[in-house]
């Protein structure tokens, strides 16, 4: 069996420089960088098969054909999912744009390739009553683990934090007197977020009455939330805590309507907007770099407004 040709070292150096740029100057998250590296390795392999040794030799047609093959499949390779194909388009476009800025090429071969437009999916938000139902059963087992579970879910909904931000939080990030917490989001960007009275009370009870006993069993260090062995709680551990509470509350844990840490974040944003919060304030609270990312939540609230209008206005029908 013939081995596929290896990518030219010049191409590998170009990709390495681009990824270094994304790491140092753009501050992309580790998982995003990993995904980009895989996407670009796949692209280099395709260029090697086409006999291309450097980016200056790539034509617009080759870029377009490669990206079309990703979306449609080719040979023994199945098509990529829409989100994965969109990310691959971004990675390849970014590489060629970077090469032009660095002066390695005379033209951007990917400039004519349209940017990805993945279908917009509306976030799944829980009604306020279901969130209250979920929080009411959190930590009903009592003991240190019960206090932690209640504090964790109150923290998730009270701050709108990503699950990675919650498990990455340290005790020193909290100011319970002011009821605020410092969260570190994508790219290491820090933001100060109100925690809310219920969440602050639950976290305070966890810190006072339960965390010391778990901390004594392991090396959780400064971590805010600890597991049963005293180490920092993981994303998977936090998800399981939420899942147990959802099952107790009679809420779905599978399928499109499944309760997840991210659905609590969606609920947080939607409930703020329903309550009259300005979309730019919600943008800051969520840690979105662009307000267009936050505006997807306004579609959810518009749907609710339409429902109210349709059932209430005498001339709606």
Tell me the C-alpha to C-alpha distance, in Å, between residue 149 and each of 115, 155, 211: 42, 10, 11
For the question of residue 162 being annotated catalytic, the response is: yes
* Active site (annotated) includes residue 268: no
Phi, psi of 192 (to 5 degrees): -95, 125
Catalytic residue among 71, 97, 186, 243: 186
The Cβ-side half-sphere exposure at 158, using a 13 Å CA radius, reads 22
297 is catalytic: yes
Which alpha helices (H) appear in the chain, and where do they start and end?
9-24, 30-49, 60-72, 82-101, 128-137, 143-159, 163-167, 197-209, 211-215, 235-248, 261-274, 279-286, 291-294, 296-312
pLDDT in tens for each of the 317 residues of the chain? 466 677 888 889 999 999 999 888 777 778 888 999 999 999 998 888 888 888 999 988 888 888 888 877 765 667 787 778 888 888 999 999 999 999 999 999 988 887 766 556 666 789 999 999 999 999 888 899 999 999 999 999 999 898 989 999 999 999 999 999 999 877 678 888 888 899 999 999 999 999 999 998 877 689 999 999 999 999 999 999 999 999 999 998 887 778 888 889 888 888 888 888 887 888 888 887 666 666 667 665 656 556 656 666 555 55
Taking the alpha carbons of 108, 113, 119, 120 in that order, is the dihedral positive or negative? positive
- Which domains are delineated in the chain? 9-101 (1.10.150.130), 128-310 (1.10.443.10)
Q: Which of 21, 198, 235, 262 is catalytic?
A: 262
Annotated catalytic residue, options 162, 184, 232, 271: 162
pLDDT score, position 150: 96
3-state SS assignment for residue 129: helix
271 is catalytic: no
Q: What is the pLDDT of residue 294?
A: 63
- Residue 265 annotated in active site: yes
């Amino acid at each position: 069996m013939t081995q596929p040709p290896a990518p030219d070292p010049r191409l590998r150096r170009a990709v390495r420089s681009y990824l270094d740029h994304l790491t140092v100057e753009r501050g992309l998250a580790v998982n995003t960088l990993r995904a980009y590296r895989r996407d670009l390795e796949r692209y280099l392999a395709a260029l090697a098969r086409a006999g291309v040794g450097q980016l200056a030799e790539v034509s617009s047609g080759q870029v377009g054909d490669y990206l079309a093959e990703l979306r449609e499949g080719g040979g023994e390779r199945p098509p990529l999912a829409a989100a994965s194909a969109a990310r691959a388009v971004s990675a390849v476009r970014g590489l060629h744009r970077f090469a032009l800025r660095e002066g390695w090429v005379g033209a951007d071969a990917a400039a004519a390739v349209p940017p990805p437009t993945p279908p917009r999916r509306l976030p799944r938000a829980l009604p306020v009553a279901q969130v209250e139902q979920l929080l009411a059963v959190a930590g009903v087992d009592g003991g240190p683990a019960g206090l932690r579970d209640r504090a964790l879910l109150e923290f998730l909904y009270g701050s709108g934090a990503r699950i990675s931000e919650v498990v990455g939080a340290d005790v020193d990030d909290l100011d319970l007197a002011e009821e605020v917490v410092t969260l570190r989001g994508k790219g290491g960007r820090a933001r100060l977020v109100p925690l809310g009275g219920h969440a602050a009370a639950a976290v305070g009870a966890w810190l006072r009455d339960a965390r010391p006993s778990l901390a004594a069993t392991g090396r959780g260090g400064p971590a805010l939330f600890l597991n049963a062995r005293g180490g920092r709680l993981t994303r998977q551990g936090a998800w399981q805590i939420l899942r147990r509470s959802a099952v107790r509350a009679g809420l779905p844990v599978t399928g499109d309507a499944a309760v997840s840490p991210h659905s609590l974040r969606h609920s947080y944003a939607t409930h703020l907007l329903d309550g009259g919060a300005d979309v730019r304030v919600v943008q800051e609270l969520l840690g979105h770099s662009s307000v267009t990312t936050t505006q997807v939540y306004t579609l959810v609230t518009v749907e609710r407004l339409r429902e109210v209008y349709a059932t209430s206005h005498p001339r709606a029908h």
